[in-house]
Amino acid sequence: MHGTTNIKFIDAPQVKLAYQYKNTKRKLYKMNAAIWYNKICRQRRLTPKYVNIRINGNNQQCQRTHKAAIHFCINQEIKYLFTKKQTLNERLYKHALQCTDGWQNLWDLIQRTIDEQLGQEMELQYENLNKKLDALQAQQHRQNNKPRRNQRRQFYTRTSNLTNIRFTEEEMDLLDMGLQYSIEKPLNEIWNDMITETEIAIRKLDTRLQNPYRILAE
């Protein structure tokens, strides 16, 4: 008599558990790749394409604000990805327990096969991300080295002259700086004002005391 062999058929729920484990692990690996990509962008000070922030102005303060906003967006994206990674880890652990219970002794072989397939997929994924980073760095390097035209923007004047006094352009620039700055009067006008004020004060004195004080003032 020929020997008998016990054949165990695979049912649909077992296959479903294996595919759920594989898909969840694929998502987890891609999540790790996305976290790595954002960390490299932050390290190299690159702006990912999903960050679209525009600021009107080309001065240093606007540029610092723009860089700080980009850095903040990347940090928030990394935090969000870590939150999703935690959820995927919990889901993967649950699927692994279910597959171990469903496949029993065959699960180690199936798990190694899944890891080999996902490893090949992720090699291509990281290769594409590296190409993406190189292209992004080259593009932003060209933008940073692009010569900028010095364009003076027209703003409302900070100082309005409501008097009959005519100020020079240098004096108007000084007044635009604020109240802590002032314009010095010419020395001749100062001396003339002092002489006039002194004479007015002397004339208010007694007639016999005016000449002695004029001599002292000279």
Give a three-class secondary structure readout of 63-108.
HHHHHHHHHHHHHHHHHHHHHHHHHHHHHHHHHHHHHHHHHHHHHH
Q: How confident is the model at residue 7 (pLDDT cuts 50, 70, 90)?
A: very low
pLDDT at 52 over 90: no
Residue 79 is predicted with a pLDDT of: 93
Phi, psi of 216 (to 5 degrees): -65, -35
Average pLDDT of the chain is 80
Q: How confident is the model at residue 33 (pLDDT cuts 50, 70, 90)?
A: very high
> Which of the pair, 212 or 104, is modelled with greater confidence?
104
pLDDT digit string, tens, across residues 121-150: 999 999 999 999 998 888 887 766 655 555
Q: Rounded to an integer, what distance in angstroms lies between the CA atom of residue 51 and that of residue 167?
A: 48
Residue 147 is predicted with a pLDDT of: 56
Residue 146 is predicted with a pLDDT of: 59
What integer is the mean pLDDT of 159-166?
77
Q: In this predicted structure, which of 1-5, 29-33, 103-107, 180-184 has the lowest mean pLDDT?
A: 1-5
